[in-house]
């Protein structure tokens, strides 16, 4: 049962992958074993077919190399003009990525995927351009030769003896939506070559002729066929997984490539990538920096970093680790990340260190549960860069100082010699060696050891002032002295170096900690920029610029900085921000720029771009440094987001506070005005209640007083309401209700005013519920009715109707009066505006203004019109929304009751 | 004779208004005691054995709603609330706390005495046996037999409509909030579905009122609830 049930996580990831794929453009690769098999021709043919089917096809770049048949195929297809790049005085023509993105065809042809772009282009490689095209939703046709695949690159160079430097990561090939193998038997290819149908660049003609040997071509063809077959296999697997033909394999193999300092590292990386690709396994690549390796010279360090970068490009997760022994650190890492197989290089012995067992053997001994795969890389030993002495001038001083220490020891011993035994004199020299180790490191310590032995022999061992030794037993003394000197010197120097590294690491941690503490206290974006700048300056000696975004996601110019970057390129920053990826130095996008642009990713959204300019761009290649920068930028992003929300919260509080103040002010005014008005009405009424009863004249005065007061009250209410409605957002208490009820309540409220009129209520029973604030809407209806009553002669009819109309519900109040004055249909809704000037009809002209404010707060519209059959008509249109479902009552209960009810 | 006349306590801090209320109610033959604060009001209500309380919500030493809550723990006399504010929420709160009716300032002597008299009448009736039969306008209701007639013809009411009508009839002249009605007819789990009350009130109105456009018995208090007037 469980066999056929797909794992929900897997299903989800498949759905996500499919969604991402649907948004992206489709990539079709025309894949061939070598140049001349006709990939470009096949690609153009396929494109023509697409064109015939009405697809918008654009030729981005196609290398026809002047071949007639290819030129003919390209004819009639729209071509994107190439971009002209000025490179060191020569004008080169490159694919115009921005032009293609701007033109945005449905399908674009980009030949030679492995091509390297001219320096100064956005991406160093054409496949990166293609990635961007795909991300923009454009389908791409492209071509690749087998030797350009990254993991096959060294295999091909092994076969043909020619190394190709332009490569495409396998991941591009593997994730392509379609791969079309363009195949040509070697004999035919040779034939074509003879006929000159294969384009060969002139400069390396001989080498390339060599390349086109039959044996090579057969091997390359096999490679291409096999690689395609692998892919087809993958497609098949995926198909089966989708169809659930067989249960999914649960166990996942995973690999750890251990990169050593030697040149074999590259082989290890490529092999691990190949194996991981075959197994479809995730893989990691690490380099362990042991104390011994910390002293590697720059060139070899760069070599290691290049290998790590290569691993990253091939899809590995990479890390540089520090540890005492490489094998233990690697084992710990493997266990921690649940990696079952380690891929290590098999070096050809260690020269004089014969007792040392191979790295693989050491791992096997410590972790019998892990698989170890050894990759041969001994044959490249010759290519290993030789260690070169570095920092020579400084070293001379250290050696001299070590010598001085030995001289000091010799002088001291001269004084001590008469008093102490020779064995004690040895100690003095050993002290000098240890001091040399501590202060000047390994080399000087070794130097001091030898010098000490020599000095001891020369000055103190009889016969003195001669290297000759009378007593043979001193030879043993020399030997032990030398050994002890060398060992202690090495040890102290090693410890000193480790202590130095530990201090550095601790400093870095403390800086990070201090920065996050400072950031947590920052209240302004400027403060954050300043803190970040300080940290980067002390940690990386970097120049920085911080650009934030405004509310509309527009990137603002960078904030002022004490150490600004030399050139802030807004375009690159914008790119990094739009794509949410790093750009500039040390990345794949515009690596020529001296500045690295890091998008600031906060939990909610991107908050800006951090531009960093390091004095030594090479540091950006070190994974640790990059990770530190990434950590730093996310800390920065979070701080910026926090500050943003602090501002939002503050604004909201201020707004709420002012809203509250306004409301309490209005209700205070309302209370203070209405109380005396209530008293006035009460006093007027009291006259009627007084004994003896008032005369007719007095009663009339009292009545007039009462009415006037009520009218003032109504007008004050209107004005207060207007103030409330105008003073910003009206808080509606919207509830779903039948419109009829509100209308009826409105009629009831205006009962007194409507006494002389006939009311016609034409609201259909099946009118859907409306979501309104009943009190305010009753106000609207009351005001409209009051107006109708006021401006029409007594005895006429006022009709109220309603109807549902699609996504609006409409109701109207119509009268049979003189109608709205022509041309004032709109003006009457303005404040203090009245239909007829200087009219005797009471009112200040707020009623309709209030109506409009209320209706518009409901998202509706109100207008006045004079229908052809006379009178005025005020129409209110409200959004229908989606009324709640009302359950019909079941009548079963009633049946039983009605049966029962006739019984007494 | 003075013993027979109903007693009303007026809790209002505005002295002139208090005097007017007293004058109006005394002219109607009621005995009136005045209080100007929540504290005094509670003392008066506890000692005078009043038949009705007229209460202003904004008092100097506290909220009138607190007074209602306090009073309701030991007395069920009608409470008529005076409110100067237009916010319906305040009135709804007072009604949910136990007030029976409200008057919005400014109000006249006639409105006041009409309301007071209606509530005193209701109270006098409630003391006697509950009526099984009840009539208003052209409608006759027999609560025991669950029978409703209009103009002599039997009306068909659904069970919910009948329960709603029965509840209205047993609380005449009182303003009943949407929440109170939902609670009484639909049960406590439906207190947020006030559109049900409105729909069924519409049904009742169409079935019972002579002119549904100008209802005489089932009155809407917008934003607050309903009032049934016999």
User: Running DSSP on this structure, what letter comes out for residue B183?
Assistant: I
Q: pLDDT at position A731, please?
A: 75
pLDDT of A246 > 80? The answer is: no
Of the listed ranges A557-566, A800-809, A810-819, the least confidently predicted one is A557-566
Contact A901 B145 (CB under 8 A): yes
Residue A382, pLDDT score: 39
pLDDT tens digits along A57-70: 999 888 777 677 77
Q: How confident is the model at residue A879 (pLDDT cuts 50, 70, 90)?
A: very high
For the segment A723-782, what is each residue's pLDDT rounded down to a tens digit?
Answer: 877 776 677 888 899 999 999 999 988 888 888 898 888 888 888 999 999 888 998 999
* Residue A78 pLDDT level (bands cut at 50, 70, 90): confident
Cβ atoms within 10 Å of A735's Cβ, excluding its own: 17
Query: Can you list the positions of beta strands (E) in A196-282?
Result: 255-259
Q: What is the mean pLDDT of chain A?
A: 80
More confident residue, A426 or A731: A426
Mean pLDDT of the region A545-552: 84
Is residue A117 within 8 A of residue A93, CB to CB? The reply is no
pLDDT confidence tier of residue B2, bands split at 50, 70 and 90: very low
Mean pLDDT for A91-104 is 86
Give dist(CA A564, CA A560) in Å, integer.
8
- Whether residue A720 contacts residue A670, with contact meaning beta carbons closer than 8 Å, is answered with yes
Q: How far is B84 from chain A (nearest CA, A)?
A: 6
Q: Which CB contacts under 8 angstroms, 24+ apart, belong to A98-102?
A: A98/A122, A100/A58, A100/A60, A100/A133, A100/A138, A101/A132, A101/A133, A101/A136, A101/A138
- Whether residue B107 and residue A774 make contact (CB cut-off 8 A), yes or no, is no
pLDDT at A392: 47
pLDDT > 90? residue A475: no
CB contact under 8 A, A683 and B20: yes
What is the rounded distance in angstroms from the CA atom of residue A857 to the CA atom of residue A839?
A: 30
Q: How confident is the model at residue A352 (pLDDT cuts 50, 70, 90)?
A: very low
pLDDT of residue B32: 93
| Per-range mean pLDDT, top range of A306-310, A845-849, B74-78 | B74-78
Note the pLDDT of residue A790: 86
DSSP letter (8 states) at residue A167: -
Per-residue confidence band for B71, with pLDDT thresholds at 50, 70 and 90: very high
> Roughly what angle, to the nearest 10 degrees, separates helices B109-127 and B15-27?
60
- What per-residue confidence (pLDDT) applies to A444? 84
Confidence of residue B7 (pLDDT cuts 50, 70, 90): very high
pLDDT (0 to 100) of residue B51: 92
Asked if the Cβ–Cβ distance from B109 to A667 is below 8 Å, we say no
pLDDT surpassing 80 at residue A3: no
Interface contact flag, A685 B194, Cβ < 8 Å: no
Give the number of residues written for chain B. 230
Instruction: Give the model's pLDDT for residue B100.
Output: 92
Return phi, psi of residue B189, to 5°: -85, 0
**In sequence order, what are the beta bridge partners of A879?**
A808
Q: How far is it, in rounded angstroms, from Cα B186 to Cα B192?
A: 11
What is the DSSP annotation of A705-770?
HHHHHHHHHHHHHHHHHHHHHHSS------EEE-HHHHHHHHHHHTTTTTTTSEEEEE--TTPPPE
d(CA B203, CA B218): 11
Taking only the tens place, the pLDDT of each residue in B203-224 is 898 889 888 888 889 999 888 8
Distance from CA of B97 to the nearest CA of A (A): 21
**Minimal Cα distance from A744: which residue of B?**
B213
The stretch B133-141 carries a mean pLDDT of 85
Residue-wise pLDDT tens digits, A99-135: 888 888 989 999 888 888 887 788 888 988 898 898 8
Residue B9 has pLDDT above 90, yes or no: yes
Q: Do B213 and A747 touch (CB under 8 A)?
A: yes
- Check: CB of residue A100 under 8 Å from CB of residue A58: yes
CB contact (8 A) between residue B220 and residue A889: no
Q: How far apart are CA A154 and CA A264, in angstroms?
A: 12
Confidence of residue A32 (pLDDT cuts 50, 70, 90): confident
Kindly write down the DSSP assignment for every residue of A510-531, as one continuous string.
HHHHHHHHHHHH--SHHHHHHH
Which residue of B213, B214, B226, B227 is the best one to mutate when testing the A interface, meaning the one whose CB has the most A CBs within 10 A? Answer: B213
CB atoms within 10 A of CB A391: 9
User: What pLDDT was estimated at residue A839?
Assistant: 52
Give the model's pLDDT for residue A899.
Answer: 41
Computed over every residue of chain B, the mean pLDDT equals 87
- pLDDT for B80 equals 94
Give the model's pLDDT for residue A202.
53
Model pLDDT for residues A859-872, shown as the tens digit of each residue: 899 999 988 888 89
Alpha-carbon separation of residue A423 from A241, A276, A446, A489 (angstroms): 79, 62, 21, 20
> A671: which chain B residues are within 8 Å (Cβ-Cβ)?
58, 84-85
Q: What's the pLDDT score for residue B10?
A: 94
C-beta of residue A722 within 8 angstroms of C-beta of residue A852: no
Residue B167 confidence (pLDDT) above 60: yes
Q: What is the pLDDT of residues A562-615, one digit of tens each?
A: 778 888 888 888 888 888 888 888 777 777 788 888 888 888 888 889 888 888
Q: Residues A580, A549: contact at Cβ < 8 Å?
A: no
Confidence label for A798 from pLDDT (cuts 50, 70 and 90) = very high
pLDDT value of residue A662: 80
Name which of A664, A671, A673, A678 to mutate to probe chain B: the one with the most chain B Cβ atoms within 10 A of its Cβ: A678
Give the range among A226-235, A242-251, A325-334, A483-492 with minimum mean pLDDT: A242-251
Joined together, the tokens standing for residue A626 give: 């990059």
**How far is A586 from B215, CA to CA, in rounded Å?**
81
Chain A residues whose beta carbon lies within 8 Å of the beta carbon of residue B193: 884
Nearest CA in chain B to A750: B214
ipTM over 0.90: no
For residues A875 and A823, the model is more confident at A875
What is residue A671's three-state secondary structure?
helix
Both structure tokens of A345: 């290089």
pLDDT of residue A527 exceeding 90, the answer is no
pLDDT at B52 over 60: yes
pLDDT band of residue A252 (cuts 50, 70, 90) is low
Please choose, from the candidates A787, A755, A747, A783, the residue with its C-alpha nearest in 3D space to the C-alpha of residue A871. Answer: A787
Whole-number pLDDT of residue A534 = 85
Gap between the Cα atoms of A880 and A808, Å rounded: 5
Q: Is the pLDDT confidence value at B38 over 80? A: yes
Question: How confident is the model at residue B79, as a pLDDT?
Answer: 94
Average pLDDT over residues B133-152: 86
- When pLDDT is cut at 50, 70 and 90, the band that residue A199 belongs to is low
Query: Among residues of chain A, what percentage have pLDDT more than 90?
Result: 7
Closest chain B residue to A887, measured at CA:
B196
In the three-class reduction of DSSP (H, G, I as helix; E, B as strand; rest coil), residue B125 is classed as helix
How many A-B residue pairs are in contact by the CB < 8 A criterion?
A: 133
pLDDT of residue A901: 40
The residue behind tokens 């049900």 is: B196
Q: What is the pLDDT of residue A830?
A: 81
- How close A648 comes to chain B (CA, Å)? 30
Contacts of A748 in chain B (CB under 8 A): 214-215, 219-220
Over residues A366-423, the pLDDT tens digits come to: 888 788 888 876 544 433 334 334 444 567 888 888 889 889 988 888 888 888 888 8
SS3 A85: strand
What number is the average pLDDT over the span A260-266? 75
**Could you tell me how far CA A17 lies from the centroid of its own chain?**
17
**B227 HSE (CA, 13 A, CB side):** 22
Residue A2 has pLDDT above 80, yes or no: no
Greatest Cα pair distance in chain A: 155
d(CA B100, CA B88): 15
pLDDT on residue B226? 92
DSSP A412: H
Matching residue, tokens 């109100």:
A862
Q: Which of A679, A706, A737 sits opposite B16 (nearest CB)?
A: A679
| Cα–Cα distance list, A867 to A817, A828, A870, B127 (Å) | 11, 17, 6, 58
Least reliable range by pLDDT among A89-93, A328-332, A454-458: A89-93
Which residue in B25, B220, B221, B229 has the most chain A C-beta atoms within 10 A of its own C-beta, making it the best mutation to test that interface? B220
Q: Which residues of A touch B201 (CB under 8 A)?
A: 741
pTM recorded for the entire structure: 0.50
Name, in order, each residue with C-beta under 8 angstroms of A721's C-beta and a sequence gap of 6 or more.
Answer: A779, A850
Give the pLDDT band of residue A251 (cuts 50, 70, 90).
very low
Dihedral in degrees, nearest 10, Cα atoms B93, B99, B105, B106? 160
- In chain A, residues with a C-beta closer than 8 Å to the C-beta of B147 are 901
Among A681, A717, A761, the residue with its CB nearest the CB of B213 is A761
More confident residue, B65 or A375: B65
- Band of the pLDDT at A222, cuts 50, 70, 90? confident
Chain B nearest C-alpha distance from A685 (Å): 6
- CB within 8 A of A318, min separation 6: which ones? A284, A285, A286, A308, A309, A311, A312, A623
């Amino acid at each position: 049962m469980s066999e056929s049930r797909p794992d929900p996580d897997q299903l989800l990831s498949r759905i996500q992958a499919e969604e991402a794929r649907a948004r992206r453009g489709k990539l079709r690769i025309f894949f061939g074993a070598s140049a001349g098999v006709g990939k470009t021709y096949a690609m153009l043919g396929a494109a023509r077919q697409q064109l015939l089917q009405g697809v918008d096809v654009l030729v981005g770049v196609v290398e026809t190399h002047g071949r007639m048949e290819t030129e003919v195929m390209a004819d009639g297809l729209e071509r994107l003009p190439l971009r002209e790049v000025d490179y060191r005085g020569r004008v080169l023509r490159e694919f115009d990525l921005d032009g293609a993105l701007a033109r945005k065809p449905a399908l674009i042809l980009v030949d030679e995927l492995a091509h390297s772009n001219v320096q100064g282009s956005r991406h160093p490689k054409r496949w990166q351009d293609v990635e961007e095209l795909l991300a923009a939703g454009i389908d791409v046709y492209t071509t690749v030769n087998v030797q350009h695949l990254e993991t096959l690159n060294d295999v091909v160079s092994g076969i043909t003896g020619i190394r190709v430097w332009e490569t495409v990561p396998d991941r591009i090939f593997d994730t392509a939506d379609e791969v079309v193998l363009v195949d040509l038997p070697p004999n035919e290819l040779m034939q074509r070559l003879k006929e000159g149908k294969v384009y060969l660049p002139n400069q390396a003609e001989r080498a390339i002729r060599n390349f086109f040997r039959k044996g090579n071509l057969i091997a390359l063809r096999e490679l291409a066929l096999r690689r395609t077959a692998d892919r087809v296999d993958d497609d098949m697997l995926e198909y089966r997984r989708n169809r659930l033909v067989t249960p999914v394999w649960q166990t996942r193999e995973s690999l750890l490539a251990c990169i050593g300092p030697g040149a074999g590292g590259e082989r290890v990386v490529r092999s691990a990538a190949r194996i991981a690709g075959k197994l479809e396994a995730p893989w990691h690549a690490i380099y362990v920096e042991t104390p011994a390796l910390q002293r590697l010279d720059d060139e070899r360090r760069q070599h290691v970093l290049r290998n790590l970068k290569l691993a990253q490009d091939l899809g590995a997760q990479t890390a540089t680790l520090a540890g005492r022994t490489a094998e233990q650190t690697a084992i710990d890492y493997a266990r921690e990340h649940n990696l079952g197989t380690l891929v290590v290089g098999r070096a050809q012995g260690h020269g004089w260190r014969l007792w040392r067992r191979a790295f693989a053997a050491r791992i096997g001994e410590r972790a019998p549960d892990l698989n170890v795969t050894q990759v041969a890389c001994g044959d490249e030993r010759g290519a290993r860069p030789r260690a070169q002495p570095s920092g020579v001038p400084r070293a001379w001083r250290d050696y001299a100082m070590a010598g001085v220490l030995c001289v000091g020891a010799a002088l001291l011993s001269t004084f001590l010699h008469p008093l102490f035994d020779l064995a004690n004199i040895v100690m003095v020299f050993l002290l000098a060696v240890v001091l040399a180790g501590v202060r000047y490191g390994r080399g000087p310590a070794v130097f001091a050891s030898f010098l000490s032995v020599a000095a001891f022999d020369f000055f103190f061992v009889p016969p003195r002032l001669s290297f000759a030794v009378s007593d043979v037993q001193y030879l043993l003394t020399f030997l032990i002295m030398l050994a002890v000197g060398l060992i202690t010197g090495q040890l102290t120097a090693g410890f000193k170096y480790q202590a130095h590294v530990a201090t550095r690491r601790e400093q870095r941690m403390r800086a990070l900690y201090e920065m996050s503490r400072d950031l947590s206290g920052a209240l302004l974006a400027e403060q954050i920029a300043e803190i970040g700048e300080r940290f980067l300056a002390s940690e990386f000696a970097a120049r920085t610029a911080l650009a934030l975004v405004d509310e509309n996601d527009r990137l603002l110019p960078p904030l002022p900085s004490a150490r600004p970057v030399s050139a802030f390129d807004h375009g690159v920053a914008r790119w990094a921000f739009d794509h949410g990826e790093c750009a500039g130095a040390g990345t794949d996008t515009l690596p020529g720029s001296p500045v690295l642009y890091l998008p600031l990713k906060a939990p909610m959204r991107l908050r800006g771009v951090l531009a960093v300019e390091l004095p030594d761009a090479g540091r950006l290649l070190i994974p640790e440094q990059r990770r530190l920068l990434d950590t730093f930028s996310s800390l920065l992003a979070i701080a910026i987001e926090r500050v943003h929300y602090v501002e939002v919260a503050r604004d909201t509080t201020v707004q709420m506070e002012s809203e509250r103040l306004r409301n309490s002010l209005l209700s205070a005014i309302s209370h203070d005005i209405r109380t005396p008005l209530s008293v006035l009405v009460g006093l007027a009424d009291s006259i009627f209640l007084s004994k003896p009863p008032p005369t007719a004249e007095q009663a009339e005065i009292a009545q007039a007083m009462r009415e006037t007061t009520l009218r003032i009250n109504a007008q004050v209410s209107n004005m207060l309401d207007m103030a409330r409605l105008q003073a910003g957002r009206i808080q509606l208490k919207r509830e779903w209700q039948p419109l009829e009820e509100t209308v009826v309540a409105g009629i009831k409220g205006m009962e007194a005013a409507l006494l002389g009129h006939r009311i016609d209520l034409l609201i259909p029973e099946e009118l859907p519920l409306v979501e309104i604030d009943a009190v305010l809407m009753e106000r609207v209806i009351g005001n409209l009715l009051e107006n109708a009553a006021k401006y029409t002669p007594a005895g006429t009819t006022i009709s109220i109707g309603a109807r549902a109309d699609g996504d609006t519900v409409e109701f109207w109040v119509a009268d049979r009066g003189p109608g709205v004055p022509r041309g004032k249909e709109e003006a009457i809704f303005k404040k203090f505006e009245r239909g007829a000037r200087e009219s005797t009809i009471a009112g200040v002209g707020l009623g309709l203004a209030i109506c409009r404010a209320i209706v518009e707060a409901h998202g509706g519209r109100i207008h006045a019109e004079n229908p052809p059959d006379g009178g005025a008509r005020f129409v209110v249109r409200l959004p229908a929304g989606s009324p709640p479902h009302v359950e019909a009552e079941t009548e079963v209960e009633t049946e039983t009751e009605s049966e029962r009810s006739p019984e007494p | 004779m003075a013993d027979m006349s109903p007693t009303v306590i007026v809790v209002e801090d505005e002295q002139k208004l208090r005097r007017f209320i007293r004058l109006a109610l005394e002219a109607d033959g009621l005995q009136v005691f005045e209080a100007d604060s929540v504290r005094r009001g509670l003392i008066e209500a506890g000692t005078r054995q009043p038949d009705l309380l007229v209460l202003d919500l904004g008092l100097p030493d506290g909220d009138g709603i607190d007074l209602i809550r306090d009073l309701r723990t030991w007395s069920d006399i009608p409470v008529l609330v005076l409110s100067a504010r237009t916010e319906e929420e305040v009135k709804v709160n007072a009604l949910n706390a136990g007030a029976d009716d409200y008057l919005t300032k400014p109000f006249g002597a006639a409105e006041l005495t009409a309301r007071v008299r209606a509530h005193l009448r209701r109270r006098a009736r409630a003391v006697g046996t509950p009526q099984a039969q009840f009539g208003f306008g052209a409608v006759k209701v027999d609560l025991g037999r669950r029978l409703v007639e209009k103009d002599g013809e039997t009306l068909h009411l659904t069970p919910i409509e009948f329960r709603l009508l029965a509840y209205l009839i047993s609380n005449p002249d009182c303003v009943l909030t949407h929440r109170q009605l939902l609670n009484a007819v639909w049960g406590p789990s439906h207190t947020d579905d006030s559109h049900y009350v409105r729909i069924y009130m519409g049904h009742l109105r169409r079935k019972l009122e002579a002119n549904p456009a100008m209802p005489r018995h089932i009155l809407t208090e917008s934003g607050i609830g309903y009032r049934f007037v016999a």
